[in-house]
A and B are shown apart, each in its own frame.
Chain A
Amino acid sequence: MKYSYYPGCSLSSTGLEYGLSTRYVAKKIGMELHEIPDWNCCGATAAHSMNHDLALALPARNLALVEKQGLGLEIAIPCAACYSRMKYAIQAARSSEKERQKIEEIIEMPYEAKNDAICLLEAFAREDAQAAVKEKIVKSLNGLKVASYYGCLLVRPAGVTQFDDNENPQSMDNLMTLIGAKPVNWAFKTECCGASHQVDAPKVARPLIYNILRNAKANGAEAIVTACPLCMMNLDMREFEFNKAKKEFDIPVYYFTELLGMAMGADPKELGMEKHFTPAVARIKEAFKRPPEEEKPIKKAKAKVEEVKEEEKPKEAIDNE
């Protein structure tokens, strides 16, 4: 479990707790994250809505730095937007020699698109990480009903990200099951949160957040889990805002790394969880105190089916035997 690590700008500002919890959990399970030296902004939405070349060159510079460092590792990226931009840059360089040369020219560094980028969630969804997480769990979430929210950029466009099912992804759900939570079946796993339009076009973007929260609530979620600082900020901050007008939602929002960290016995302050707008710590503490979920005895269930079959049998059949 060794990765190059591109934290992105959010993790030192609005997504501080994502960075803290990632570092905490990675250390716990022995995942090495080598931060890229002298990394720069990926360009996010701003670059690709303005200039195609810039939108490829900004993330590519970081990728070129990884090559220069020569560790030969995949790059793990916590933020979904950064991840998306890196994926686009890699794809452009790999599919077109012309694009690759143009990128090199702009960043004034050699870039061969050698290393793959993965999202942090994928790093944790891999078998080795899951096994390591399992070993470090000290507390169970005891059936806390969570809505795994992947957002749009982790799984789309499918041709670029090539990660998980783009309609009904499962990787985060599996991680949540691992720490005792109970993922709910809901319909908005991969809906868009409105991203930066929450700032510049609130009239259009607010309903997107509202609908996500409403569907999570309708499906009985007690918490929402994210893997993107922008999704997190939007959901967490706007839920708080909605609730000011009318106390409608009681669904704290978490980074998946925060929940992993809590299950590994972290102090919420270590993870930066007091920074959430919608209070988040109490719900977890309450879940820890719940009675453990009963494991369903599988054998018994089977026996039941057999019994029903016996009842169905008409008398003649039994006589015959």
Chain B
Amino acid sequence: MSRTGVFICHCGTNIAAVVDIAKVVEKAKSMPNVVYVEDNKYTCSEPGQQAIKDAIVKHKLDRIVIGSCSPRMHEPTFRKMLASTEINPYMLEIANLREQCSWVHTDREKATDKAIDLVRMAVAKVAKNHALFTSSIPVTKRALVVGGGIAGIQAALDIADAGYPVTLVEREPSLGGKMVMLDKTFPTMDCSACICTPKMVDAGQHPNITVMTSCEVEKVSGYIGNFEVTIRQKATYVDHSVCTGCGICELKCPSKVTSEFEQGMAQRRAIYKPFPQAVPAKPVIDAANCRKLNGKAKCGICQTQCPQGCINFEDEDKLITNTYGAIVIATGYELIDWKSIYGEYGGGQYPDVINGLQFERLVNASGPTEGHILRPSDGKEPKSVVIVKCVGSRDPNKGKGYCSRACCMYAAKHAHQVLEKIDNAQCYVFYIDVRTAGKAYEEFYTRTLEDGAIYVRGRVSKIYEEDGKLICKGEDTLSGQTVSVAADMVVLETAMVPAAGVEKVATLMTISRDNDNWLQEAHPKLRPVETHTAGVFLAGVCQGPKDIPDTVAQASASAAKVCGIFSKAELQTNPMISKVDIEKCSGCGDCAGICPYKAISMQDMEFIEHGKKITRRVSTVNSGLCQGCGACVAGCRPGAIDLLGFTNAQILEEVDALCL
């Protein structure tokens, strides 16, 4: 016969204002196996916890029910408390009387009835609880960072500085991501390259960091502390262990290709470094455009010219496998393809309608125009520039419903740069709202207004060319008038969207994505860098649009989480996982297919049946991978799988308590 104690919490007035506590206490006293009932103003407080401990001793309780807030809030607190008593921490059930009762109801009588039912169910369930014990798994103290933009670089540096080895994987030929393309950063107007390139060099030279550029994650298996990751090193056709980065090959290469780094506004060669400050400062060959590799000509001139003999046209992709204890995802963003959705802005037919990243390259001293703002069409200096904000952002009909967060500020920066660099320039900014939440951001925006930028509150409805001018038609919603601006150049501040291929990364790591494909954090407020896969963390824009300071802060936060894991010799596992009754298992393997964490595998096992030795296929659960979701339990036809802590017997007991 079990001895159950029930503790009902008032939670100040959070529960007590709606639920009649005295009545719940009274009813609980007559529930099966209950030997002691008590209420408390704040059960989670120090005296509240002590009262439970005392009652356990005094009334020889062997399991308890707490009627309080959601178990998401304080279940860990009470488990910890039980660890210091005679009772196993898993001999606890929590009836959620706050989030699922008092907070959502107003009728006191009905809420009280519901609270009694919730307590009755918990009492029934706890009677079937069994003691559960955590086990430990070893930790491989090596981290993998996916994505070599500022988020990935920062996370890698922080983990490496803490003394742990890091592999930094980047699919492009250089580290740097988007930040290194930018000209200046708001609100301080620091040169972006000047603050980003030293970090790239730091990462490249750090003894604890292995930089793997032109690489992509191919396969991930394992679990927190022990991820086995296969990385594809794409063929670069240049032996970087020998290459000195002299650059002769680039000068001699005859095929010219549009430069991705310069946003299509300049050319590079088929053997190239994306930009002069690239890390590693060594070239790769773009096989699709190399005449020798795509078979269009014999060429091979880079090979004959290379003084080190490091060009190898026979190079092939390599697969490298290693074990990592934790993974940081920092795959970043790209800009929305506005041309396919904004036909009213010309859909890309006007060369002088550019996006914000193209403007960054135009205004950048190392860009295609050496920092002079010149129109892509004819190389002339534009005197009148229109900036359109929220192109693709805050536009659920055509683009995305969300705000891309950084655009208000860099639009102000672009306006400032136009007015600063071009004499007698006029700059119009069309906006929906100006959102300047950030340190010194509002001041920066005000300064841009003082510079003379003309802010027009309204969307641009149409952009077309007439007599060599780009006519921007829109509405000034403050005066209620339609306006028409004849511009020489138009900058569209387009929405951020997750980088291409994010689906693959999310699938590999079994992490979820939101409706817009941003990677989903475990909790929007309290676990912003964790994912639902233990040991996988998020950094930067892959989780949602943000600016550089927020990206760097989040990267450091995820690094701290990784270091937290690495600081332990072993990790405790969650004991509330699936358990297979191999006697009942029919070996159908459905559970293995259902499991979203790849935690179930099939194994041949020997049994003795009717005095004969036979081999049968049964499923086994990897305790490190299982997250206790229970999908396999629902899918198991012979009913051979149970989720510890939520066994079928426990659930049925709850149902009976409510319905019988």
Contacts and interface: CB of A to CB of B under 8 A. Distances in A.
A219 to B, nearest CB: 8
Interface in A282-321: 312-314, 316-317, 320-321
A215 interface: yes
A185 B343 contact: no
A165 B343 contact: yes
Chain B: interface size category: 20 to 34
Contact of B465 (A165, A187, A214): A187
Contacts of A314: 252, 254, 301
A201 interface: no
A187 B464 contact: yes
B466 A218 contact: yes
A301 B297 CA distance: 21
A166 B343 contact: yes
Contacts of A166: 343
A313 B300 CA distance: 13
B298 interface: yes
Contacts of A218: 466-467
Contact of B343 (A168, A214, A312): A168
A170 to B, nearest CB: 11
Interface string B326-352: 000000000000000001100101000
A282 B648 CA distance: 89
A320 B466 contact: no
Contacts of A274: none
B112 to A, nearest CB: 43
B344 A316 contact: no
A249 to B, nearest CB: 15
A317 B301 contact: yes
Interface string B463-502: 0111100010000000000000000000000000000000
Contacts of A18: none
Interface string A200-233: 0000000000000011001100000000000000
Contact of A185 (B298, B344, B349, B467): B349
B466 A312 contact: no
Given A214-B466, A218-B467, A321-B298, A167 B343 contact: yes
B342 to A, nearest CB: 8
Given A316-B305, A320-B298, A320-B299, A187 B343 contact: no
Nearest to A188: B464
Nearest to A186: B464
Interface string B288-325: 00000000011111001100000000000000000000
B130 to A, nearest CB: 56
B462 A187 contact: yes
Contacts of B462: 187
A183 to B, nearest CB: 14
Contacts of B349: 185
Interface in B248-279: 252, 254, 256
Contact of A313 (B254, B343, B347, B467): B254
Nearest to B298: A321
Interface in A63-113: none
Interface centre among A168, A312, A317 (most CB of B within 10 A): A317
A314 B347 CA distance: 37
B297 A321 contact: yes
Contacts of B347: 167-168
B469 to A, nearest CB: 10
Residues of B contacting A: mostly:
mixed
Contacts of B298: 320-321
A314 B301 CA distance: 10
Interface string A228-259: 00000000000000000000000000000000
Contacts of B464: 187-188, 215
Nearest to A169: B343
Interface centre among A167, A168, A187 (most CB of B within 10 A): A187
Interface in B422-477: 462, 464-467, 471
A185 B464 CA distance: 11
A317 B299 contact: yes
Contacts of B344: 167
B301 A316 contact: yes
Contacts of B254: 312-314, 317
B304 A320 contact: yes
Contacts of B299: 317, 320-321
A13 B297 CA distance: 68
Contacts of B301: 314, 316-317, 320
Contacts of B256: 312
A316 B248 CA distance: 13
A218 B466 CA distance: 6
A261 B135 CA distance: 86
Interface in B339-396: 343-344, 347, 349
Nearest to A215: B466
B300 A187 contact: no
Nearest to A167: B343
A129 B299 CA distance: 51
Nearest to B468: A218
Contacts of A188: 464
A151 to B, nearest CB: 15
Interface centre among B252, B254, B300, B471 (most CB of A within 10 A): B254
A166 B256 CA distance: 37
A214 B349 CA distance: 20
B233 to A, nearest CB: 29
A214 B471 CA distance: 13
Interface in A157-178: 165-168
A215 B347 CA distance: 18
A220 B30 CA distance: 92
A30 B180 CA distance: 64
Nearest to B471: A187
Contacts of B305: 316
Nearest to A312: B254
Contacts of B304: 316, 320
Interface centre among A167, A168, A219, A316 (most CB of B within 10 A): A167
Contacts of A219: 466
Given A185-B349, A187-B462, A320 B300 contact: yes
A199 B417 CA distance: 48
A166 B252 CA distance: 48
Contacts of A320: 298-301, 304
Contact of A316 (B252, B465, B471): B252
A317 B301 CA distance: 6
A313 B270 CA distance: 13
Contacts of A321: 297-299
A147 to B, nearest CB: 13
A187 to B, nearest CB: 3
A219 B464 CA distance: 11
A219 B465 CA distance: 9
Contacts of A312: 254, 256
A157 B162 CA distance: 59
Nearest to A214: B466
Interface in B235-257: 252, 254, 256
Nearest to A191: B462
B605 to A, nearest CB: 59
Given A312-B254, A316-B301, 19 more contacts: A167-B347, A168-B347, A187-B462, A187-B464, A187-B466, A218-B466, A312-B256, A314-B252, A314-B254, A316-B305, A317-B252, A317-B299, A317-B301, A320-B298, A320-B299, A320-B301, A321-B297, A321-B298, A321-B299
Interface of A: 165-168, 185, 187-188, 214-215, 218-219, 312-314, 316-317, 320-321
21 contacts: A165-B343, A166-B343, A167-B343, A168-B343, A168-B347, A185-B349, A188-B464, A218-B466, A218-B467, A219-B466, A312-B254, A312-B256, A313-B254, A314-B252, A316-B304, A316-B305, A317-B301, A320-B299, A320-B300, A320-B304, A321-B298
Interface of B: 252, 254, 256, 297-301, 304-305, 343-344, 347, 349, 462, 464-467, 471
6 tightest CB-CB pairs across the interface, nearest first? A167-B343, A187-B464, A218-B466, A317-B254, A317-B301, A313-B254
